[in-house]
A and B are shown apart, each in its own frame.
Chain A
Amino acid sequence: MVDQPVWEQIGSSFVTHYYQMFDSDRSRLGAIYTDASCLTWEGQQFQGKLDIVKKLTSLPFTKIAHSITAQDHQPTPDCCILSMVVGQLKADNDPVMGFHQTFILKNVNDSWVCTNDMFRLALHNFG
């Protein structure tokens, strides 16, 4: 949309591209991280592109599909973009589960990379 702020366009393109890559061939995700990137996956922290891709490619499912329920993108004072995603995913034959993810995107040499990534499944302790 012409009237959409630039950070929304960038953020929304990024998350679409991210989940498409994740779902089709997550070994290619290295392209969007840098050596300074940080991933927190279900509470475990990984530092740098190599360790991050190692973690993501070692996740114990063959097939995965993400769908985005809601997304928010904001400009930050240091010219980065903060993106928050709520969605659902289905891994192999497991039931559909909710997930939460937050990204910080930074422009490095005319390309938007992910410097910070946090992922959690939507599981709550009721009661």
Chain B
Amino acid sequence: MFSQKQHQEEAQQVGSQFVRYYYNLFDTDRQQLQNLYTPESLLYWHGEVCRGSTQISSGITNLPFNKIVHVITTDDHQLTPQNYILSMVIGQLQMDSNRPVNFHETFLLKKESQSWMLINQAFRFTS
């Protein structure tokens, strides 16, 4: 049996890989993000509510910029009592040639079949 510490370390590894994968996909081809969400996924984008992979993907794809770059400043990950992974990211992003802005984002991942799916997500600009 794994100790609680080992479980937390695993959550740290999975969470860390996931957020980097997520932002890389967001920055290169954000339409592909649809595969990470389920019909029950919930995204709050700076206070606006989107539910389900179709609505979420459509919302993200239609964001009003061509180019975006995310840079992670810090990322923290924990295992929850139900074995979901909770991740909190603080970073900066730049849309097109606008000045970089700060953001705060939280993800909750749930394992379905063999894949980690994004079931809850909240994003806010902080500057």
Contact = CB atoms under 8 A, between A and B. Distances in A.
A and B, one complex? yes
Interface of A: 36, 38, 40, 43, 45, 47, 69-70, 72, 74-78, 80, 82, 84, 86, 98, 100, 102, 104, 106, 115-116, 118, 120, 122-125
Given A40-B88, A102-B106, 19 more contacts: A38-B8, A40-B76, A40-B78, A43-B74, A47-B4, A47-B8, A69-B126, A74-B44, A74-B120, A84-B122, A84-B124, A102-B86, A115-B81, A118-B78, A118-B86, A118-B88, A120-B76, A124-B90, A124-B92
B47 interface: yes
B47 A72 contact: yes
B108 interface: yes
Interface in B88-106: 88, 90-92, 102, 104, 106
Given A43-B76, A70-B47, A82 B110 contact: no
Interface residues of B, number: 31
